Structure 1
Amino acid sequence: MTIGGRVERAMFGEKFMRRIACLAFAYILFLPVSQGNLLILIMGVCAGFALLTAMITGRALTTPIAAAFALTMLLGLYGLAVDSANPGFWNGAMIFVATPALFFLYISVLGGLVIRDLMHTCAVVTIALGACILVYVATQNGVLPSALFPSAFLEVVGAGYGEKDAASSVRFYGLSTLAAAAPMWLASLFVRKDDYLPGMKLRLAAAGFAVGAALVGGRRAIVLGLLLLPLVVWLLRRVVKRQERSGPRKYHPALVIGVLIAMAVLAPLTPSIVTHPAIANVVNSVMFYITGEARTIAADEAIRADQIDALITHWTSSPVFGHGIGALVPGIVRSDRQPWQFEAQYAVLLMQVGVVGMLIVGALAAVVLYATLRAAALRPSVRPTLIVVLVGGASMLIANATNPYLQAPAHHWAIFLPLAVINYAIREPESVVEPAKDLELAAK
């Protein structure tokens, strides 16, 4: 086969993969739960096209990401092998083995142009999702006509509305996407534009709609991610950008003026912002857990506190090896349909895989940190996008601490999108292909 023929086939595969990836990603973001059969079909189709793209382009996982894949599989297989008779064995196999394997396959073939398209798709869907939630809440409060949304649409998206603890409680299948998307796009406002991020107007719209929808949604796990955003961004900037500091930090005068104006505008609004029910509930929940008074507040917090106690107690009966993925906990049932599911996911993981499994988790975290540093060093131009997607991944992990977000396969996008950027940056460093030229060649 001639070089020209191979390039032509690679370009065809790239274009096809871009379209499939963007459509699938849009669906996953808007309907991350429900319609399980359709989700399985979509992920299967994406796997087929990923294999086709891998054969055409020759792309694969880089060594650090391949090591992360091996450790992820080791964790899942170990947790399943501890006790294959656990009731949740097959559900655990899907979450800990099958779903990560599919996502690692996807990210192995993603190039720069696909990543750029995925970032734009995420911004557009976030705007659409946030707007739908805000408009829906407005219809429920009489601000807008209730007939704006057809009943069939509301049923598909799982829309529902109620009042709880003075904060609106919105039910919307896509609301859980905001656990990663809202902090991600808010963080994007504080990094420079690169070849992969959308323009500032699109990022600003995505951040605005996402934060607005998150606040009216009243989900404490999502709001907690927003409140921790400054700390997360600061830490990630320290990690990702530590190699490039060569002198005193300089700030553009326009940035300083803009910050001062924003502070002047927000200062009078600070009391109302701090006392907003969504934010007050999160702060109160955290303080109650710190002081050990979680059982004295809302019923759901008392349930979480009881679950944590029961999970830790059950773990102590097999602290080294754990009880296996899908194990039950005596006396605690969160769901009659899936009695092996619980709220406090990291306490669940400790109970399931024990100290041995947590050592694997620690090794996995170390490998990902090493890969992140290597990606930032090899391709400095991708650092803004890398920071943004890492914020999304970190926020999803924070939210997963108190809600089983990652027990839904579609929510894994927030974890694997950063790995896709890292894998791409290591596989195609700037010393080999300049990013602008890479995107230009792929678009031809």
Structure 2
Amino acid sequence: MIQIFFVLMLTLPTAFQMQRGVFLALITAVAGIFALKQWSVNRDIFYIWLATIVVGFFGVFWGVVNDAPGALRVSTVYIVWPALFLIYIGLSHSLNIIKALEKAVFLGILLATITSLIVMFAGYLGYEGVIYPLLVFLDAGFGSYDGHIAYRVYSLTTVMYGFTFILSYILVNRNELQGFKRVFIYTLLVFIVIAALGSARRAFWLVMLLGPFIALFFLQASYFRLNLTRFLSLIFKIFFVFLIFVPILILILKLDLNTLLELFVSAFSSQESSTGLRFLQAESLWSKFIQSPLIGHGLGSAADVVRSSEQPWAYELSYLALLMNVGVIGFIVYAAAVLWIIVKGIKISRKDSAFAKLFVPLVSALCTFLIMNATNPYLGKFDYLWVIFLPLALINAYLTQRTQYD
């Protein structure tokens, strides 16, 4: 059942929340009845989790004291959902369970990519009137502009995650991918690139630029590290494929390369409207942060610049907003928890091939997702917190059931 729920999170994020909530409650109840005796969490992982929960509780309390408008609303993200994920981490303490979840991630990425391409080509070919009413629960939309196109769909975030995940999977399994599986994986990666080019999402393009370097870094830090000659050869092959393949796709989609480049560069310019708003947010958030730099103003706080009247505590610059909310102390705790996952996972993946095959794709995609989250608060939703907790579950499986890896 957890696999089904995972696929639903990946393909229907933010949609059917009540129905998925009931399904999640059912899974939790079944797990509590039949599997709670098998629950096992490594001591270090529990202490790290406890430290983040303490920050969450204090942040909510401090937010209530300071009349933060979203203090209670965000308590689910910082307290309830992490507690729920800890339960599932303790239950996912075998390699087979993690492998099953990996298959669910693959299926979710595949379905999300197909959905994105359907939305893109339906708009591109003029069939949005037929297709989009069927996808109203995913907020499908399309626009054609001078030199580029753009579309939206909730599950596009999963596709963005999928690029680095699939690329890393190919790298660590490059000697084992044969026949249909090889064709399937490479085709899926091509489809993801097509979805990226038509999305006009500059964060997605940044992921495509940085993803290969991040994937190669964790590959070199793992059991499957290459010697210098093979490493440089692999970099050249990846660069060559993208240099040839991406321009061909741009021509096929009748996009303008100069327009795409200008659109991408504008993301780093304060003159562009959406980027300019982020600069204003940054100034406002920083000004409020320095008023209480150590402990912040509490979770759910709002600065002078408000992005949404319905959720004044929600900001696109999620890390700066978190710094303003919990201060330097709380921010260090959260950052240290994520850093521990990366460092601990690297140490294990250097000596264990089975672990590395699972960890390298997860941690590579996690890092690119953290980059995406810097300007879009994806981790402020339950549907994306698994990006952090799944690699943690893998580490817990290794530490609590190490004999399965010997």
**TM-score scaled to structure 2, two decimals?**
0.86
The answer as to 2:350 corresponding to 1:350 is no
Farther-moved stretch of structure 1 (127-136 vs 318-327): 127-136
**C-alpha displacement of 1:307:** 0.3
Q: Does 1:307 align with 2:287?
A: no
Partner residue of 1:176? 157
Structure 2 equivalent of residue 127 of structure 1: 110
Which stretches in structure 2 are left out of the alignment for 5+ residues?
Answer: 251-255
Q: For 1:285, what is the secondary structure of its paired residue?
A: helix
Q: Which residue of 1 aligns with 2:292?
A: 318
Q: Secondary structure at the match of 1:161?
A: strand
Say which is worse superposed, 171-180 or 356-365, in terms of deviation: 356-365
**Cα displacement (A) at 1:25:** 0.6
User: Does residue 67 of the first structure (1) align with residue 47 of the second (2)?
Assistant: yes
Mapped partners of 1:334, 1:123: distance in 2: 34
1:44 maps to amino acid: A
Aligned residues: 396
- CA shift at 1:194, angstroms? 9.8
In 2 relative to 1, CA 312–66 (structure 1 residues): closer, same or farther, beyond 3 Å?
Answer: same
Of the three residues 263, 272, 276, the one matched with 2:240 is 263
- Are 1:371 and 2:371 matched, yes or no? no
CA contact (8 A) 1:87 1:328 kept: yes
SS at 1:156 equivalent: helix
Structure 1 distance, partners of 2:113, 2:148, is 17
1:206-355 correspondence runs (5 A): 206-241=188-223, 248=227, 251=230, 263=240, 266-267=243-244, 275=257, 277=259, 280-286=262-268, 288=269, 294=270, 296-297=271-272, 299-330=273-304, 332-355=305-328
Q: Any gaps of 5 or more consecutive residues in structure 1? A: 1-19, 289-293, 436-444
Query: Could you say which residue in structure 1 is the equivalent of 2:404?
Result: 433
Quick one: which of 76, 87, 107 aligns to 2:69? 87
* 1:320-372 Cα shifts (integer Å, max 9, x gaps): 11111001112x11111111101100110110011121231243234324431
77-86 or 299-308: bigger deviation: 77-86
Partner of 1:440: none
Residue in structure 2 matched with residue 185 of structure 1 by the alignment: 166
**Aligned counterpart in structure 1 of residue 381 of structure 2, from 408, 423, 438:** 408
Alignment of 1:120-159 (within 5 A): 120-142=103-125, 145-146=127-128, 149=131, 151=133, 153-159=134-140
- For 1:88 and 1:257, the matched residues in 2 are separated by 48
Q: CA deviation at 1:261?
A: 10
Q: Distance in 2 between matches of 1:268 and 1:178?
A: 19
In 2: Cα distance, 1:205 partner to 1:51 partner: 40
Distance 2:41 2:25 in 1: 19
Amino acid in structure 2 at the alignment position of 1:179: M
Give the aligned residue type for 2:240.
Answer: M
Judge conservation of contact 1:140–1:146 (CA < 8 Å) in 2. yes
Instruction: Name whichever of 133-142 and 350-359 sits farther off.
Output: 133-142
Q: Report the counterpart of residue 395 of structure 1 in structure 2.
A: 368
Alpha-carbon deviation of 1:248?
5.0
Q: CA deviation at 1:374?
A: 4.5
| TM-superposition CA deviations, 1:364-420 (whole Å, max 9, x none) | 234324431443256332202211011121121111100111112101121212112
Contact preservation (8 Å) 1:29, 1:125:
yes
Given that 2:132 and 2:141 are in contact with CA atoms closer than 8 Å, whether structure 1 keeps it comes out as no
